């Protein structure tokens, strides 16, 4: 094993696993921490946790357990993976987990690199941008669980963590790996714990990766994995992704994300396929509602795959949460998705296209999937994955990833 990744949610895990495979590292993704797994031929392991929005002490506990598992198998490098929009609260969980991993690795310095330029996530003067918008002015300011109201990564890290943050500015990054390495050393000597790196292009990611290749711990979104995989891999992505190619006998689309992009994707898909919206009240009051939804799916033509969604606008989401309670409504919807997936799997559905981190996590757990092979990318950061012990394929999409045609595009791989 050349690299071990500790990811804070399921879609984030498939996001980075896809980039590792596309850049030549044979990668296995684990749903949680298994007692044992066959790592033959595997270059990188990605452990999927549910630590993004849980209490900070739980996130630290689970992340340290994942670290122990990787260290016990000789893993020489650890990558703490979080979202490219730095999804977190004022208190964590990115900062507390970073501090705990640094302490466990007896290290005192790491970098902060959420950038993913191919998806419009860049960092300039320490501020994170989503396209042309600062993070705090993007759709992330309306996130129902982790609303992002500050774009400055130095302030965010110092607010969550216990150390100082420093900036490696664009002018230094543009000079290449040697200058970046020197900047890291200067920050370390100054007592800085977290180096925020300006990142505007993929070349910047490659240069940052070269400067950070010997760090015991790096932290970031999936973009930094591009550079690390190119340095560590064998340069054969086709071989790396072959085991994860999707089955595509019969598929369904399940969307729990309420992001701006997912709203656009659902609207686009509604024009070409049968689509049914969740009734939140029915989730709360009708015990047989998942069975009702399953019957609707199975009554539709197999292609294009039918969709069931809880995706809605920010105003409508706020109305639902006010009427039913935020936590109660969210839990009811996710439980319903999980029960629906189990019913559909029993009825012969073998390919699930899922939007939303929490929805992906619940469905993966409900289907009792413990490990995936990573397949071809549908969109940057969203690969198909296939269960290692069952004929079952999934596409697990973070809310804002992909373009409007994502759900249709995912199904084109069934015919490759």
Give me the pLDDT at residue 204, please: 98
Structure confidence by residue, pLDDT tens digits, 362-386: 899 899 998 988 988 899 888 899 9
**Rounded distance, CA 266 to CA 291, Å?**
22
The verdict on 209 and 277 lying in the same domain is no
Domain that holds residue 38: 3-241
Domain of 254, CATH number, reads: 3.40.980.20
362 shares a domain with 254: yes
Supply the CATH number for residue 80's domain.
3.40.50.10840
What is the rounded end-to-end Cα distance, in angstroms, of the chain? 30
H or E segment and range at residue 246: none
Domain check: are 290 and 178 in the same one?
no
Of the residues 241, 267, 302, the one at which a domain ends? 241
**pLDDT computed for residue 139 by the predictor:** 87
* Bridge partners of residue 124, in order along the sequence: 127
Model confidence at 416, in pLDDT bands (50, 70, 90)? Answer: low
Residue pLDDT, tens place only, 232-289: 987 777 777 777 889 878 999 999 888 889 999 999 999 999 999 988 888 888 899 9
Residues 162 and 302 in one domain: no
Residues 237 and 286 in one domain: no
Is residue 185 located within the same domain as residue 303?
A: no
- Same domain, yes or no: 62 and 112: yes
338-349: per-residue pLDDT in tens?
999 999 999 999
For residue 324, what pLDDT band results from cuts at 50, 70 and 90? low
Task: Report pTM.
Answer: 0.82
Q: What is the domain count for the chain?
A: 2
Q: What are phi and psi of 275, to 5 degrees?
A: -135, 135
On average, the pLDDT of the chain sits at: 92
Last residue in a domain, options 241, 273, 288: 241
288 in the same domain as 161: no
Of 252, 251, 253, 255, which Cα lies nearest the Cα of 334?
255
Same domain, 255 and 232: no
- Does residue 142 share a domain with residue 64? yes
HSE (side-chain half, CA atoms, 13 Å) at 317: 20
């Amino acid at each position: 094993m050349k690299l071990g990744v500790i990811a804070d949610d399921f879609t984030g895990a498939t996001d980075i696993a896809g980039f590792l495979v596309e850049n030549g590292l044979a990668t296995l993704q684990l749903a949680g921490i298994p007692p044992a797994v066959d790592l033959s031929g595997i270059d990188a392991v990605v452990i999927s946790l549910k630590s993004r929005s849980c209490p900070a002490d739980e996130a630290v506990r689970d992340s340290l357990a994942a670290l122990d598992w990787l260290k016990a198998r000789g893993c020489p490098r650890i990558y703490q993976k979080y979202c490219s929009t730095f999804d977190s609260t004022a208190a964590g969980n990115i900062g507390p987990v970073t501090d705990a991993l640094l302490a466990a690795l007896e290290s005192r310095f790491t970098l902060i690199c959420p950038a993913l330029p191919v998806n419009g996530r860049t960092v300039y003067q320490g501020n994170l941008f989503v396209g042309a918008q600062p993070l705090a002015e993007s759709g992330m300011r309306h996130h129902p669980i982790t609303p992002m109201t500050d774009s400055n990564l130095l302030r965010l890290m110092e607010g969550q963590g216990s150390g100082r943050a420093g900036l490696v500015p664009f002018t230094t990054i543009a000079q290449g790996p040697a200058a970046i390495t020197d900047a890291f050393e200067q920050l370390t000597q100054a007592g800085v714990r977290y180096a925020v790196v300006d990142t505007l292009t993929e070349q910047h990611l490659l240069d940052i990766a070269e400067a950070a290749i010997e760090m015991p711990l790096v932290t970031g979104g999936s973009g930094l994995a591009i550079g690390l995989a190119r340095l560590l891999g064998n340069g054969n992505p086709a071989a790396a992704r072959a085991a994860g190619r999707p089955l595509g006998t019969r598929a369904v689309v399940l969307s729990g994300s309420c992001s701006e992009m997912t709203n656009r994707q659902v609207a686009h898909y509604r024009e070409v396929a049968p689509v049914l919206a969740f009734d939140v009240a029915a989730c709360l009051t009708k015990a047989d509602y998942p069975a009702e939804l399953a019957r609707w799916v199975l009554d539709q033509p197999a292609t294009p795959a039918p969709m069931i969604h809880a995706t809605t606008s920010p105003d409508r989401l706020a109305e639902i949460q006010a009427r039913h309670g935020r936590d109660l409504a969210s839990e009811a919807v996710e439980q319903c998705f999980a029960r629906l997936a189990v019913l559909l799997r029993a009825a012969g559905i073998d390919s699930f296209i899922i939007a939303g981190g929490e929805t992906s996590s619940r469905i993966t757990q409900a289907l009792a999937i413990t490990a995936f092979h990573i397949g071809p990318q549908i969109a940057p950061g969203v690969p198909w994955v296939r269960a290692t012990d069952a004929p079952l394929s999934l596409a697990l999409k973070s809310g804002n990833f992909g373009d409007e045609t994502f759900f249709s595009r995912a199904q084109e791989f069934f015919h490759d």
